[in-house]
C-alpha cells in the first residue's frame, strides 16, 4: 500500500515574530529600539535584502543574524510576513505622540556658547545612511567636529532654526530629533507618525510640522517638539484621506505648504496668526483644488508658485504643472522630458530671466525652464538619470549627478550656467557619486561617494580638482547652515 507523505508544516511566521523580533521591533511591528517592520516602511527595501538582514544581521547595530536559530524556510516565512499589513492597522494618535516625547533640558550651569571653534554659519551636517549617523563638519577646515548616532533612516533635508543654532532631523519611522549644534546634544525627540516623509520648520523658528504616510496626517509641534495639534489629511467632507507626500516651509508667505499623494489638493496652513493653534482651534487649511494629485514640489524664490510633478500614467510618462498659490489654480503645464525630481532643482539668472533647472529620474537630461513663460529653454544631456542638482550664487557652474543610471552613476556633470552646456566631469570609476552642496562662499563643492566605505569629497569649485576626502559611511546628503538659512537659490530649502 502506498502511504501519502504528510505535507511539511508551514512555519508560523506570526509566532516566530513574537518570539524573536517583537522585543526590538514592537509587538505591532511599529518599531521600538529597532525600526518599524510595516509594509510602508519596507517599500524601499528589496526582499533579498530583508532575507539577508534576518540571516546575517546588520553590522554595527543590535540586529543579530538568525542563521543559527532559524531554518531557511522560517527566515523566508518571516521575511514575507513582515510585508503583510498589520490587522487591525496600527494607530498613532495624539496621545501616542505626546507620550513618545523625550526631552533633555539645558543644564542650568552650562555657558551658552558653542563648544567648538569654527564659523557657525559654515558648518555642514552630513547624514551618513550607511550606519545611521550624522557628522558635523567645519566647512573652512573640512574637519569633523563631532559624529553622533541618528534615528534609523533619516529622510529629507535636516531643517535649521533661522539663527542656525538648532537643527531638526526626520526619520522614515516618524522620529523628529531636535539637536543643539552649539552644545552638541540632542534637546528633544518625538515620534510624529509611524511612517513619515519629512519635516519643515517655520521661518520664524517657532513651529515644526511633520508629514506622514501612516497615519494619513500632519502633526504640528512647537519648537521644543511639544505636540500642538494634528490634521487629518482628508477631503473637506472627510470621506477620502491621503498619504502626505511632504510639507514645505514657505517663509515669504509665513505658511506651510503641503503636498498630498492621493488627493488632488494642495494645502496651505498659515502660521502668521495672532492666536496659536490648539487641538480645539486649529489654524485653517486653505485648499487649492487640482485636476490630479501633485507631489514632489519646487517653489519659485517668492513662493508664489508651486511646481509639482504628476505621477506617470499607465504606459505614459509623468508631467509637471505650475500652480499659483495666490490664484489657487494651475497656471501652466511644464514641458519636462521625464519624471522630474523637482525638489532637487535650482534657480538662477539667465539671459535676462530666471530659469529653473531640474534633473529627472526618467532619463539622462536636465530640463531648464524659463520661469516667466514656463517654456523649456534647453534640455541638457547628462550620462543618465539623476537625483540631485546644486549650485551657488558665487559660482558660474551647476553640478548634477546621474546616480540612478548604471553607466553614469560614477560621475558628476558640471554645467556652465551661462551657456547651459556641460563643461567638465568628475569621476570615481565604478562607484556612485551623488548629492552636492557648496560651502557658504561657493568656493568649494562637497560631493558624496555614496558607498558603505564612502567619503565626502571636497572639490575646488573653480578648478574642479579634489582638495580633500573625508571617510564616511554612505553619506546620503550634506547641508550647509548658511546656504539653508539664507535660502540660497542653488540649494534646497
Ligand atoms: Fe528623497 C528629499 C521624496 C527617495 C534622499 N525626497 C526629499 C524630499 C522629498 C523626497 C519630497 C524633500 C523633502 C525635504 O527635504 O524636506 N525621495 C522622495 C520620494 O518620493 C522618493 C523618490 C521615494 C521614497 O520612497 O521616498 C525618494 N530620497 C529617496 C532616496 O532613495 C534617497 C536617494 C535615499 C534615501 O536615503 O532615502 C533620497 N531625499 C533624499 C535626500 C533629500 C531628499 C538626501 C534631501 C536633499 C536636499 O539636499 O535637501
Position of cell 537643527? 167
Distance 406 CA to ligand 1 centre (A): 20
Cell of 116: 567648538
Same domain? 277 vs 351:
no
Are 221 and 266 part of one and the same domain? yes
Number of neighbours of residue 53 by Cβ within 10 angstroms: 17
Q: Is 198 in the pocket of ligand 1 (CB under 6 A)?
A: yes
345 lines ligand 1 (CB under 6 A): no
**Is residue 132 lining ligand 1, measured as CB closer than 6 Å?**
no
Q: Output the CA 3–ligand 1 centroid distance in Å.
A: 58
* Ligand 1 centroid from CA 154, angstroms: 9
From first to last of its 493 residues, the chain has per-residue pLDDT tens of 445 555 567 899 999 999 999 999 988 899 888 889 998 889 888 999 999 999 999 877 889 999 999 999 999 999 999 999 998 889 999 999 999 999 998 888 877 899 999 999 999 999 999 999 999 999 999 999 999 999 999 999 999 999 999 999 999 999 999 999 999 999 999 999 999 999 999 999 999 999 999 999 999 999 999 999 999 999 999 999 999 999 999 999 999 999 999 999 999 999 999 899 998 899 999 999 999 999 889 999 899 999 998 876 666 666 789 999 999 999 999 877 666 677 778 999 999 999 999 887 777 899 899 999 999 999 999 999 999 999 999 999 999 999 999 999 999 999 999 999 999 999 999 999 999 999 999 999 999 999 999 999 999 999 999 999 999 999 999 999 999 999 999 998 8
CA-CA-CA-CA torsion sign (179, 184, 188, 190): positive
Q: Is the CB of 438 under 6 A from ligand 1?
A: no
Rounded to whole angstroms, the Cα distance separating 13 from 57 reads: 18
Any ligand 1 atom below 6 A from CB of 129: yes
- Asked if residue 449 is part of any domain, the answer here is yes
Containing domain of residue 47, as a range? 13-81
For residue 404, the number of C-alpha atoms closer than 13 Å in the C-beta half-sphere is 17
204 shares a domain with 110 = yes
401 ligand 1 Cβ < 6 A: no
Q: Strand pairing partners for 400? A: 389, 413
- On whether both 298 and 181 belong to a single domain, the answer is yes
CA of 137 to the centre of ligand 1 (A): 22
Identify whether 251 is part of a domain: yes
Residue 155 Cβ inside 6 Å of ligand 1? The answer reads: yes
For residue 20, is it within any domain? yes
Residues 72, 110, single domain; the answer is: no
Flag whether 146 is in a domain.
no
* Residue of the CA atom closest to atom 22 of ligand 1: 341
* Domain match, 72 and 104 both: no
Task: Please tell me the residue having the least CA distance from ligand 1 atom 36.
Answer: 155
Task: Mark whether 242 and 292 lie in a shared domain.
Answer: yes
CATH number at residue 61: 1.10.760.10
Q: Are residues 474 and 393 in the same domain?
A: yes
Q: Is residue 243 part of a domain?
A: yes
In a domain, 2, yes or no: no
Q: How many domains does the chain have?
A: 3
Distance, CA of 493 to CA of 482 (rounded, Å): 11
pTM of the model: 0.93
Is 427 part of any domain?
yes
According to DSSP, the residues that pair with 248 across neighbouring strands are 257
Residue located nearest, by CA, to atom 24 of ligand 1: 44
Amino acid at each position: 500500500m502506498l502511504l501519502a507523505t504528510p505535507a511539511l508544516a508551514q512555519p508560523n511566521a506570526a509566532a516566530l515574530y513574537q518570539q524573536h523580533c517583537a522585543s526590538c521591533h514592537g509587538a505591532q511591528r511599529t518599531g521600538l529600539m529597532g525600526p518599524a517592520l510595516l509594509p510602508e516602511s519596507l517599500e524601499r527595501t528589496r526582499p533579498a535584502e530583508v532575507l539577508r538582514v534576518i540571516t546575517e544581521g546588520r553590522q554595527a547595530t543590535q540586529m543579530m543574524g538568525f542563521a543559527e536559530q532559524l531554518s531557511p524556510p522560517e527566515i523566508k516565512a518571516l521575511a514575507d510576513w513582515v510585508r503583510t499589513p498589520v490587522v487591525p492597522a496600527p494607530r498613532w494618535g495624539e496621545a501616542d505622540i505626546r507620550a513618545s516625547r523625550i526631552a533633555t533640558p539645558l543644564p542650568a550651569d552650562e555657558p551658552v556658547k558653542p563648544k567648538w571653534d569654527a564659523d557657525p554659519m559654515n558648518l555642514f551636517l552630513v547624514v551618513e545612511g550607511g550606519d545611521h549617523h550624522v557628522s558635523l563638519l567645519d566647512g573652512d577646515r573640512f574637519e569633523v567636529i563631532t559624529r553622533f548616532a541618528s534615528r534609523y533612516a533619516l529622510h529629507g533635508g535636516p531643517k535649521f532654526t533661522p539663527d542656525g543654532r538648532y537643527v531638526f532631523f526626520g526619520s522614515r519611522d516618524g522620529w523628529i530629533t531636535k539637536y543643539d549644534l552649539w552644545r552638541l546634544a540632542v534637546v528633544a525627540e518625538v515620534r510624529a507618525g509611524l511612517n513619515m516623509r519629512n519635516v519643515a520648520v517655520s521661518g520664524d523658528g517657532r513651529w515644526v510640522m511633520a508629514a506622514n504616510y501612516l497615519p494619513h496626517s500632519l502633526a504640528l509641534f512647537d519648537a521644543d517638539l511639544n505636540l500642538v495639534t494634528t490634521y487629518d489629511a482628508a477631503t473637506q467632507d472627510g470621506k477620502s484621506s491621503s498619504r502626505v507626500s511632504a510639507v514645505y516651509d514657505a517663509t515669504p508667505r509665513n505658511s506651510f505648504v503641503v503636498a498630498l499623494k492621493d488627493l488632488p489638493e494642495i494645502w496651505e496652513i498659515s502660521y502668521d496668526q495672532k492666536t496659536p493653534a490648539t487641538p480645539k482651534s486649529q489654524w485653517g487649511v486653505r485648499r487649492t483644488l487640482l485636476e490630479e494629485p501633485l507631489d514632489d514640489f519646487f517653489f519659485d524664490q517668492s513662493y508664489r508658485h508651486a511646481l509639482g510633478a504628476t505621477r506617470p500614467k499607465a504606459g505614459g510618462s509623468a508631467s509637471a504643472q505650475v500652480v499659483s498659490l495666490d490664484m489657487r489654480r494651475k497656471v501652466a503645464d511644464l514641458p519636462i522630458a521625464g519624471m522630474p525630481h523637482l525638489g532637487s532643482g535650482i534657480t538662477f539668472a539667465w539671459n535676462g530671466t530666471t530659469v529653473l533647472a531640474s534633473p529627472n529620474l526618467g532619463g539622462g537630461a536636465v530640463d531648464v525652464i524659463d520661469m516667466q513663460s514656463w517654456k523649456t529653454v534647453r534640455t541638457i544631456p547628462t550620462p543618465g538619470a539623476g537625483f540631485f542638482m546644486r549650485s551657488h550664487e558665487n559660482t558660474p557652474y551647476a553640478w548634477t549627478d546621474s546616480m540612478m543610471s548604471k553607466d553614469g552613476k560614477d560621475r558628476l556633470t558640471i554645467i556652465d550656467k551661462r551657456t547651459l552646456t556641460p563643461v567638465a566631469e568628475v569621476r570615481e570609476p565604478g562607484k556612485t557619486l551623488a548629492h552636492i552642496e557648496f560651502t557658504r562662499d561657493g568656493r568649494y563643492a562637497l560631493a558624496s561617494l555614496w558607498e558603505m566605505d564612502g567619503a565626502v569629497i571636497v572639490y575646488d569649485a573653480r578648478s574642479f580638482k579634489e582638495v580633500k576626502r573625508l571617510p564616511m559611511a554612505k553619506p546620503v546628503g550634506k547641508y550647509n547652515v548658511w546656504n539653508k538659512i539664507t535660502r540660497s537659490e542653488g540649494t534646497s530649502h
